[in-house]
Structure 1
Amino acid sequence: MSEQEGEPVGIWMGLQAGALIGLYVGFSLATISVLTDAEKINRTISLMCFPPFIGSIILGPFLAKRRKPVKLSRKPLEMAREILEEFNEGQGNWRVLSHVSSDGMNIRIDMHNLKNIEGVVDAALIIAEQSTVKFIVGRGTSKSSSPELRERVLNRVESKVSVLRRTRKAKSIEVKPETSHEYDTYQNKLNKVLFILLPIVSFLAWIEMRN
């Protein structure tokens, strides 16, 4: 495995990508079906349903071989706990094992019972360059257990992160990573393929449906 590539994205992700491409094609064909003969409802429904399955079966195994960038190959929770481990305050207080969790690709950091708030925010923003980080801070009202917590975290985030990457929610502050160069490259390639493929398929389908 090269230094520039990580592990394969996996068959499940490949099937999803293939189904998405099939959905694009199916939607185009279904639109043409409606325009040529709106009364053939069964044909339209079939064109919407079958292409995603066909796309996932045919394209899925090939798309599953695509490799993640190295920075996306490492498990986010493992990396987050390693970076934030130095801020452990001992059993019964703030610790990475009890206050840092994950719901998949997103990292949740409970900021309650923490003394070095700014230090954890700064370290977490390093993680936010690769994964979405959610700072759990409460509502910040006078009835909250830590009414000043939300304001302190928000001020730190706003001073270091652009407005496009941060989101304020009822009980949390969310910071998203910038779109990676690898993702942009992949998305551009996919858009080019669809831009070329869809008109050709649509034209052939239109000719067939007119007959």
Structure 2
Amino acid sequence: MADEVGEPVGLTMGFQAGGLIGLYLGFSLATISVLTDAENVQRTISLMCIPPFLFSLLLGPFLSRRRKPVILTKEPLIEAREKLSKYNEGQGKWRTLSHISSDGMNLRIDMHNLTNVEGVVDAALDIAETTTVKFIVGRGNHKSSSPELRNRVLKIVEDKVGVLRRSRKAKSIEVNPIASHEYNAYQNKLNRMLLILLPIVSFLAWLEMRN
């Protein structure tokens, strides 16, 4: 099913994307400059600094019109607390209000003081299809307050999530979202453009700098 159309990414992200493309180009040109004339430091610095600024101004307004997939415009913290509210165990125990938080980009679900670990993990994995979810489980050794918690969560995640989407940290297990079709198409298009343009521009710059 195709992704619905979300809101524009905005000028700030557009300028950042344009600057990043310019940075790639500037780095390539600066490398060529060093190889052709290492003593011309001023030219090398100019090639590093000017393209990011120039591409940011030129491409920023166009890239800002790109639209976010709808899944990226939802508020994941509110969605997670609503979806997992049925697992609340009361004050002093596991509750969505105290055990689910967000840093603005990722969800953090503290699995301590929770009885129905399997139920919460299963429900949270649905949310992890659109938002990065970090299960806080501790180190899982004999010194931990819940030494078996890490293995219980890890078993479910490994059974239901592909290896490329999951990762293990010192005190957490992280599940990354499935990239949307629109995002993948945009990345592929941008990569193709860079692969075509950068070698051509670099070759022309090399010919010019040789003279």
Asked if TM exceeds 0.5, the reply is yes
Q: How far is the alpha carbon of 1:54 from its aligned partner?
A: 1.6
* C-alpha distance after superposition, 1:153-174 (max 9, x if no partner): 1111111112222111111111
For residues 55 and 165 of structure 1, the distance between their equivalents in structure 2, rounded to whole angstroms, comes to 33
For residues 117 and 39 of structure 1, the distance between their equivalents in structure 2, rounded to whole angstroms, comes to 63
For residues 186 and 79 of structure 1, the distance between their equivalents in structure 2, rounded to whole angstroms, comes to 27
Amino acid corresponding to residue 199 of structure 1 in structure 2 = P
For residues 154 and 199 of structure 1, the distance between their equivalents in structure 2, rounded to whole angstroms, comes to 44
**TM-score for the superposition, normalised by structure 1:** 0.92
SS of 1:68's equivalent in the other structure is: strand
Q: How far is the alpha carbon of 1:138 from its aligned partner?
A: 0.6
Q: How far is the alpha carbon of 1:19 from its aligned partner?
A: 1.0
Q: How far is the alpha carbon of 1:20 from its aligned partner?
A: 0.8
Which consecutive aligned stretches of 4+ in structure 1 deviate over 3 angstroms post-superposition? Answer: none
Partner of 1:173: 173
Alignment gaps of 5+ in structure 2: none
Amino acid corresponding to residue 21 of structure 2 in structure 1 = I
- Root-mean-square deviation (CA, aligned residues, Å) is 1.6
Amino acid corresponding to residue 115 of structure 1 in structure 2 = T
Please say if 1:75 is aligned against 2:71.
no
Partner of 1:157: 157
SS of 2:101's equivalent in the other structure is: strand
For residues 110 and 189 of structure 1, the distance between their equivalents in structure 2, rounded to whole angstroms, comes to 38
For residues 36 and 149 of structure 1, the distance between their equivalents in structure 2, rounded to whole angstroms, comes to 59
Tell me if structure 1 keeps the 8 A contact 2:69–2:180: no
Identity of aligned residues (%): 74
Partner of 2:142: 142
Amino acid corresponding to residue 159 of structure 1 in structure 2 = D
Partner of 2:30: 30
Please say if 1:18 is aligned against 2:46.
no
Amino acid corresponding to residue 12 of structure 2 in structure 1 = W
- The total of aligned residue pairs comes to 209
For residues 24 and 16 of structure 2, the distance between their equivalents in structure 1, rounded to whole angstroms, comes to 13
Partner of 2:48: 48
Please say if 1:115 is aligned against 2:119.
no
**TM-score for the superposition, normalised by structure 2:** 0.92
Amino acid corresponding to residue 60 of structure 2 in structure 1 = G
For residues 65 and 175 of structure 1, the distance between their equivalents in structure 2, rounded to whole angstroms, comes to 30
Alignment gaps of 5+ in structure 1: none
For residues 100 and 22 of structure 1, the distance between their equivalents in structure 2, rounded to whole angstroms, comes to 39
